[in-house]
Amino acid sequence: MGELLKLCDVTKLYKTSEGKEAVGVQHVSFTVDEGEFISIIGPSGCGKSTLLRCIAGFEKINDGNIYLDGTLIKKPGPDRFMIFQGLDQLFPWLTLKQNIAFAMKAVKAVKSDEIMQRAQNNLELVGLSGFGDYYPYQLSGGMKQRASIARALSVGPKVLLMDEPFGSLDAFSRKAMHHMLLKVWNKTKVTIIFVTHDIEEAIDLSDRIIAFAPGCILADIKNPLERPRVRETALYRNFFSELNGIFETNFKGIDLEFERLSAKKAKLISV
Amino acid sequence: MRRLFSKVFFILTVACIWEAVKAIGGYSDLLLPGVMSILRSLWLERIQIFHMTLFSLQIIGIGLLVAIVLAICATILAFSGRIFSEIITDVLAILHPLPGIAILPIAILWFGIGTKSILFVIIFSAVWPLINHFYTGFRSIPANQLEVGRNLGLSGLKLGRDIMLPASFPHILGGIRTGWARAWQASVAAELVFGAAGGNGGLGWFLYKKRFMMETPGVFAGMLVIVLIGIAVEYIVFTWVEINTVRKWKTIIN
């Protein structure tokens, strides 16, 4: 498996509304292999979502380069598909099947007579086979996120960018979503970059974990645990403590106010 | 069936109260005509009313259509640059509160007495609320939906047509409702002020003539027609559109 995504010295700056410069992401470099499942973890406002948005092409970066398969990323494209935390990312005026068909038509990747069949296959993949004709409002939060994943996969992305996709769900449906996501990943072999602030979620899911602190990488660690991961084992707890320790030592002197300067919450202006 | 029944009952009740007020107050037909004389006038003038209604609907339809096209252009412009959005916000603040009828003198100066002036007043009255609703609607689209669109490689007019338009549809429908009402108000008001040229006028002209000839039942008959058209359009056109779009998608509360 070769290298798929490469970030070189990526910097993204923001301005607060008073004109002060705040760092979103600073001098970040790492690579992601094809088929890899990596998690980026860190507290709210540490820039991990910003980093994901830079990879997606939603944000113009101030410095550095991001390459996908050797090509420089300049703008959003269906080869990197984003799944958001919000439960409003499906188009409410289309049924699930139509949502997926819309995406496929927009990227013109699929022949028109195959679209409906492909949409159905994608719904089956995420466990929503009987719900193709439902409108988004008729679904639970978990089902909406499943449908969003089905839609994302339908355009055949090289990387799935997931920004706390299960953050709005309760613990029970989150567990089911983890199960489904791993199944989908095994089947499609799609590369996944998963942003979360939940350390256990990251351990359960990913091959590799990047610990992120305000603007930069604290640690880049391979997950040593065998799949499926069982939270009750000593190895699991040890790994959890190791990751947790990274944040505790690194976050001691950091002003909590700074953490709140999240791009989303403080309405920072991109510079 | 029950709903139809309750509506008929409501209308009969209003008619009874109307007659009671007339009887108790002892008002003449000139001040407050009875229900029957209004209906009689409606029947006697049915051909004239029919033609004038058609005229009104035609001119309002054209005016509203032009206003919608202008509003769409203005909204697209407002989204294509910060300067434009500021200009449009300012223009809206200046011209939206101005009653359409207030520019009638200018319209007459520019276009003379006739259909063109009325059309101008209608467009002027409808275009501001339309821009206001469209612009607000476009700005209240969930960011996630727009970004999914961008993620799919959509931009510009395609993004506007395929995502922004349906996503802001509750506001767009609201705008067209307001625009329609404003257009009606403007057309009637304009004809009430200066009448019509060449005997070619709408329901406002009808009201003007009836008032001029002191035929009060005819004035009420004209008003009744305006109200009935309003109800018909609301229940047949707008409600139908709503049921098949925003109510079906539950993007508005029933």
Q: Distance from first CA to last CA of chain B, Å, rounded?
A: 20
CA distance linking residue B87 with residue B74, whole number of Å: 10
Domain presence at residue B23: no
Encode chain B (254 residues) as per-residue pLDDT tens digits. Answer: 788 899 899 999 999 999 999 999 999 989 999 999 999 999 999 999 999 999 999 999 999 999 999 999 999 999 888 899 999 999 999 999 999 889 999 999 999 888 899 999 999 999 999 999 999 999 999 999 999 999 999 988 899 999 999 999 999 999 999 999 999 999 999 988 877 766 678 999 999 999 999 999 999 999 999 999 999 999 899 999 999 999 999 988 87
Alpha-helical regions (H) of B112-168: 115-139, 143-151, 156-159, 165-167
Task: Flag if B251 and A84 touch (Cβ within 8 Å).
Answer: no
Q: Within an 8 Å CB–CB cutoff, is residue B60 touching chain A?
A: no
Q: Interhelix angle for B46-78 vs B216-232, to 10°?
A: 50
Chain B residues in contact with A82 (beta carbon < 8 A): 147-148, 151
The residue of A102, A145, A161, A269 whose CB has the most chain B CBs within 10 angstroms, and thus the best one to mutate to test that interface, is A102
Query: In this structure, are residues B64 and B122 in contact, taking their beta carbons and an 8 Å threshold?
Result: yes
Q: Provide the residue count of chain B.
A: 254
CA distance linking residue A14 with residue A79, whole number of Å: 26
Q: Which residues pair with A193 in a beta bridge?
A: A38, A161
- Closest residue by Cα to residue A93 from B235, B74, B173, B132: B173
Nearest CB neighbour to B145, from listed A88, A137, A155: A88
State yes or no: pLDDT of A44 exceeds 90: no
CA distance linking residue B224 with residue B46, whole number of Å: 12
Q: Within an 8 Å CB–CB cutoff, is residue B154 touching chain A?
A: yes
Number of H helices, E strands in chain B: 14, 0
Q: Which residue of A has its CA nearest to B244?
A: A93
Q: In chain A, positions 44-63, which contact chain B (CB-CB < 8 Å)?
A: 56, 58
CA distance linking residue A23 with residue A4, whole number of Å: 26
State yes or no: pLDDT of A264 exceeds 50: no
Q: What percent of chain A lies above the pLDDT cut of 70?
A: 92
State yes or no: pLDDT of A266 exceeds 80: no
B235: burial class by Cβ within 10 Å (0-12, 13-18, 19+)? exposed
Chain A residues in contact with B168 (beta carbon < 8 A): none
Query: In this structure, are residues A100 and A151 in contact, taking their beta carbons and an 8 Å threshold?
Result: yes
Chain B residues in contact with A154 (beta carbon < 8 A): none
Q: What is the mean pLDDT of residues A157-167?
A: 96
CATH of the domain at B56: 1.10.3720.10
Q: Which helix (H) or strand (E) holds B11?
A: helix B2-25
**Measured in whole angstroms, how far is the alpha carbon of residue B208 from the centre of its chain?**
20
Q: Which residues pair with A71 in a beta bridge?
A: A68
pLDDT-based confidence at residue A257 (cuts at 50, 70, 90): very low
What confidence tens digit (pLDDT) does each residue in A202-234 have? 999 999 999 998 888 999 999 999 999 999 999
Q: What is the mean pLDDT of residues A156-160?
A: 96
The residue of B146, B148, B150 whose CB has the most chain A CBs within 10 angstroms, and thus the best one to mutate to test that interface, is B148
pLDDT at A108: 85
Q: HSE (CB half, 13 Å, CA atoms) of B81?
A: 4
Q: Within an 8 Å CB–CB cutoff, is residue A124 touching chain B?
A: no
Q: In chain A, positions 83-122, which contact chain B (CB-CB < 8 Å)?
A: 84, 86, 88-89, 91-93, 102-103, 106-107
pLDDT at A263: 47
CA distance linking residue B25 with residue B34, whole number of Å: 12
Backbone angles phi, psi at A9, to 5 degrees: 55, 45
pLDDT at A259: 47
Q: Within an 8 Å CB–CB cutoff, is residue B140 touching chain A?
A: no
Domain presence at residue B5: no
Q: Interhelix angle for B115-139 vs B82-95, to 10°?
A: 130
CA distance linking residue A218 with residue B12, whole number of Å: 78
Q: Which CATH class is domain A3-79+165-270?
A: alpha beta
Chain A residues in contact with B150 (beta carbon < 8 A): 58, 76
Nearest CB neighbour to B151, from listed A56, A91, A137: A56
Query: In this structure, are residues B152 and A152 in contact, taking their beta carbons and an 8 Å threshold?
Result: no
Q: Within an 8 Å CB–CB cutoff, is residue B254 touching chain A?
A: no
How many domains in chain B? 1
Q: Within an 8 Å CB–CB cutoff, is residue A64 touching chain B?
A: no
The boundaries of the domain holding residue B188 are 34-249
Return the domain boundaries, chain A.
3-79+165-270, 87-156
Task: Flag if A103 and B152 touch (Cβ within 8 Å).
Answer: yes
Q: How far is CA B10 from CA A178, B3, B131, B225, B232, in A?
A: 58, 10, 36, 18, 16
- State the ipTM, two decimals: 0.89
Q: Which residue of A has its CA nearest to B158?
A: A106
Query: In this structure, are residues B191 and B201 in contact, taking their beta carbons and an 8 Å threshold?
Result: yes
Strand A63-68 and strand A191-196: the pairing is: unpaired
Q: Number of CB pairs < 8 Å for A and B?
A: 60
